[in-house]
């Protein structure tokens, strides 16, 4: 645990600078009532600047990993307090056709491009699941299933991280224009067009901060969680498609539980608590039978703040873990595949939202 302290501390410092700098630049220097500069964006960019200009010691990596693996998921779990179960089900059902369209199209597109550009099948599979489902989590979970090499896993993660960060920083502003400020459509677009769970959360926070729309973050988060659940179907499918005949006969060593994003259950649990708390306030004047309305609202706001702080730390870890040099070292053709897939999934998401939602 102690070895993770340097990385965690650096993530916290970068996130804090991002929050403070956003208010200082936007409000104190530029005179806006609300800063037009996102603290999340500043945290990520500052993290990337540090990672690529300073040779950070490996001792920082443990803290970065904890931020991305645990603090991120804890932050997303805390976001569940924003929504009741009926809201989660409604948003998830609404976004399901768009999610299915994006996943199916991306898998088919990457398979075609990999053959056209002669990209190794397993690397293409990793890029496909990373782009269509949930970035590094899907890649790391799929790698052992299809017997991918460490270098292939590393490249795929670097690939989708770069394009995901670009999308995270650009799409909130592009979506505001494309969907004329419609909170629901923008949230569904961000939740289906951006790769990583962290990146979707970051984009949702950027939009919420800049356009005063917390509902967009709710839609984006739930839609992304629907994508995450699809891992339990898509990853075994990748194993079936890409393992050799011998491996198919013997079977691959993985379990559904190992690839299922368990933090979704925590998110739903917080949604259940919010639902029950609001219901008991309305009928018994006591949330969860022992909290008055003022205390209940203060508790909800505190959990929301914890979620925002946790996600800010995780966003800093995203920036601090991004090495731009990794793409140059591993070739250019898979880069083309990742770029085209990332661009096209955004287009399909835009079309899907317009067809199925608007």
Counting other chains too, the contacts that 259-264 makes at CB distance below 8 Å and 24 or more residues apart are 259/141, 259/231, 259/232, 259/235, 260/229, 260/231, 260/232, 261/134, 261/137, 261/225, 261/228, 261/229, 261/231, 263/73, 263/74, 263/76, 263/77, 264/225, 264/228, 264/229
- Say what the pLDDT of residue 95 is: 79
Inside any domain, residue 36: no
Least confident span in 45-49, 245-249, 275-279, 313-317: 245-249
Q: Considering the domain boundaries, does residue 346 fall inside one? A: yes
Q: What band does 186 get if pLDDT is binned at 50, 70 and 90?
A: very high
Q: In the structure, what pLDDT confidence band is assigned to residue 348 with cuts at 50, 70 and 90?
A: very high
| Of 352 and 148, the one with more pLDDT | 352
Decide if 100 is inside a domain.
Answer: yes
Count of structural domains within the chain:
1
In eight-state DSSP terms, residue 287 is B
Q: What is the pLDDT of residues 288-312, one digit of tens each?
A: 778 888 888 889 889 988 888 888 8
Q: Across all residues in the chain, what is the average pLDDT? A: 81
Mean pLDDT lowest for which of 81-85, 250-254, 275-279?
250-254
pLDDT tens across 321-345, in order? Answer: 877 776 566 677 888 888 999 899 9
* Domain contains 136: yes
Q: Is residue 33 part of a domain?
A: no
Can you give the residue range of the structural domain that contains 109?
Answer: 76-356
Top pLDDT among 127 and 152 is at: 127
- As to burial, measured by CB atoms within 10 angstroms (0-12 exposed, 13-18 middle, 19+ buried), residue 173 is middle
CA pair distance 235, 33, nearest whole angstrom:
47
Whether 22 is in a domain gets the answer: no
Residue 218 lies in a domain: yes
253 within a domain of the structure (yes/no)? yes
Burial letters 25-35, b for 16+ CB under 10 A, else e: ebeeeeeeeeb
């Amino acid at each position: 645990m102690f070895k993770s302290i340097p990385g965690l501390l650096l993530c916290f410092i970068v996130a804090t600078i991002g929050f403070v700098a956003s208010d200082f630049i936007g409000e104190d220097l530029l005179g806006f009532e609300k800063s037009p500069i996102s603290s999340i964006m500043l945290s990520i960019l500052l993290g990337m600047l540090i990672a690529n200009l300073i040779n950070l010691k490996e001792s920082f990596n443990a803290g970065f990993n904890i931020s991305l693996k645990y603090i991120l998921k804890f932050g997303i779990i805390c976001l569940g307090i924003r929504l009741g179960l009926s809201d989660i089900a409604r948003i998830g059902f609404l976004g399901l056709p768009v999610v299915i369209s994006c996943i199916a199209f991306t898998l088919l597109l990457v398979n075609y491009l990999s053959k056209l550009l002669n990209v190794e099948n397993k690397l293409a599979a990793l890029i496909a699941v990373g782009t269509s489902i949930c970035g590094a989590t899907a890649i790391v979970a799929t790698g052992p299933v299809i017997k991918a090499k460490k270098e292939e896993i590393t490249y795929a993660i670097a690939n989708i991280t770069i394009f995901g960060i670009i999308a995270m920083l650009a799409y909130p502003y592009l979506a505001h224009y494309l969907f004329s400020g419609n909170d629901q459509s923008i949230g569904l677009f961000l939740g289906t067009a951006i790769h990583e769970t962290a990146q979707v959360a970051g984009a949702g926070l950027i939009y919420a901060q800049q356009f005063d729309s917390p509902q967009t973050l709710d839609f984006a988060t739930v839609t992304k969680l629907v994508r995450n659940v699809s891992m339990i179907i898509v990853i075994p499918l990748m194993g079936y498609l890409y393992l050799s005949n011998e491996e198919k006969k013997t079977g691959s060593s993985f379990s559904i539980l190992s690839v299922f994003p368990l933090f979704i259950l925590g998110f739903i649990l917080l949604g259940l608590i919010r639902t029950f708390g609001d219901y008991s306030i309305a009928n018994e004047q006591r949330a969860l039978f022992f909290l008055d309305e003022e205390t209940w609202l203060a508790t909800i706001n505190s959990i929301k703040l914890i979620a925002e702080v946790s996600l800010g730390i995780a966003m800093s870890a995203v920036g601090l873990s991004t090495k731009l040099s990794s793409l140059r070292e591993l070739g250019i053709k898979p880069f083309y595949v990742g770029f085209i897939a990332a661009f096209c999934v955004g287009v399909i998401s835009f079309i899907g939202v317009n067809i199925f939602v608007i």
